[in-house]
Copies of this chain bind each other. A is one copy, B any other.
Amino acid sequence: MNTAEWAERALAEAAVGQEPLSREEQVLERIERARRRKPKVTEERVTMAHGAGGKASRTLIQAVFVDAFANPALQRLDDGATLDLGTGRLVFTTDAYVVSPLFFPGGDIGDLAVNGTVNDLAVCGARPMYLSAGFVLEEGFPVADLRRITASMAAAAERAGVRVVTGDTKVVQRGKADGCYVTTSGIGALERPVTLGESRVRPGDAVIVSGPVGEHGVTVMIARGELDIEADLTSDTAPVHEAVAALLDAVPVRMMRDATRGGVATILNEIAVGAGLAVTAGERAIPVRPVVSGACELLGLDPLYVACEGRFVAVVDGDHAAAAVRALRRHPVSEGAAVVGTVEAGPPGMVLLKTASGGTRIVDLLVGDPLPRIC
């Protein structure tokens, strides 16, 4: 049953019983009506929110890109496209990186770009193999910085067991870029006979987060120096392919996604909407380091929406939740893994968060961009 059918049944049941819609049902119906609308970009110009990974991003992707390039592989809106070349299945993915500043505690645009592409391949179930790198450089960019970035990319590639095999460089005039933008694409081989995706998710499944959330986003915000905050915090940028492989070997996995732009909250929404089911999560169960929650409070941010670059969300068979967490905790990159919620039948497409204070709130996609150019 999809969300529309669910809402209709709620309406029908209310009609049969001659009962007016409850206040909650009215709210849900209004939300549902908004969600059913065909995505439409109402703005005439691109805004920062179109790049933030939330509502506006999703609308732009669906109304412009998916509409133009209509094909099944793209429509799935996965982290990578699964392709069959006749000789074997592979995953193909791409990401543009515009992080500011280029260098931050724990990483830089170089290892961020490599790890991000490695992780997109990994959460699609593939073994990361080959990367490409396209650079847009601003005239006047220090060659020494470019060397730092490429050295960092090479080290990250080495660590993840992938090779940067092809690339391109363009230079634009001063003021037409911000130092250096990198777009990495990646190819991985799908060697396991698993099929992953929201459509595999079932009520009763467990939702797992691989470690404490929000460290990358908060680190970059602080590194910008616009905020008078100091915190002993480094980016969580790291390759997760080994942890993912261990998880796939240990338990039946339904789907995985890495929690970058838009954070864990966005992924939970993608799961709920994609599966046509509900995700119920416990606020206290989601691991957040005190330094991150403290900084988020000062910054007016919800850590659930803050980007991670070395964390992923996995949905696994509920009976194997404990085994999944055990398998993940054996790897340093996911030693903080925890079950954060469960999948339920309804309300479909909704993420409900049990708050620390005992209430329940709806966690929706982000509106606007509180954290521009975080990756």
Interface of A: prevailing SS: mixed
Is A312 at the interface (CB under 8 A from chain B)? no
Residues of B within 8 A of A52 (CB): 171
The stretch among A2-10, A11-19, A127-135, A249-257 that forms the contact with chain B is A127-135
Q: Which of A122-146 contact B (CB under 8 A)?
A: 129-130, 132-144, 146
Does A189 sit within 8 A of B, measured CB to CB? yes
A87 at the interface (CB under 8 A from B): yes
Question: Could you mark each residue 161-202 of chain A with 1 if its beta carbon is under 8 Å from any beta carbon of chain B, else 0?
Answer: 001111111111101111001010101010000000000000
A23 within 8 Å of B (CB atoms): no
> Taking A69-B154, A163-B71, A185-B132 as contacts, is the C-beta distance between A173 and B92 under 8 angstroms?
no
**Interchain CA distance A183-B57 in the complex, whole Å:** 18
Q: Are A44 and B129 in contact (CB under 8 A)?
A: no
A71, A140, A164, A189, most chain B CB atoms within 10 A: A164
Complex: how many Å from CA A108 to CA B44? 20
Q: B-facing mask of A146-170, CB < 8 A → 1, else 0? A: 1100110110010000011111111
CB distance from A321 to the nearest CB of B (A): 30
| A86, B167: Cβ atoms closer than 8 Å | no
- Does A288 make an interface contact (CB < 8 A)? no
A94 touches B132 (CB 8 A): yes
Is A85 in contact with chain B by the CB < 8 A criterion? yes
Residues facing B in A98-114 (CB within 8 A) are: 98
With both chains docked as a complex, state the minimum distance between the C-beta of A353 and any C-beta of chain B, in angstroms.
28
CB distance from A305 to the nearest CB of B (A): 17
Q: Given A65-B169, A83-B187, A85-B189 in contact, is the A94-B143 Cβ separation under 8 Å?
A: no
- In the complex, 23 of the A-B residue pairs with CB atoms within 8 angstroms, ordered by the A residue number, are A46-B171, A47-B171, A51-B169, A52-B171, A64-B146, A68-B151, A68-B153, A69-B150, A69-B154, A69-B157, A73-B165, A73-B166, A85-B87, A85-B88, A92-B165, A95-B134, A96-B169, A132-B185, A134-B185, A136-B136, A171-B369, A172-B181, A185-B185
The 6 closest A-B pairs by CB, nearest first: A51-B171, A87-B88, A185-B185, A183-B183, A81-B165, A94-B132
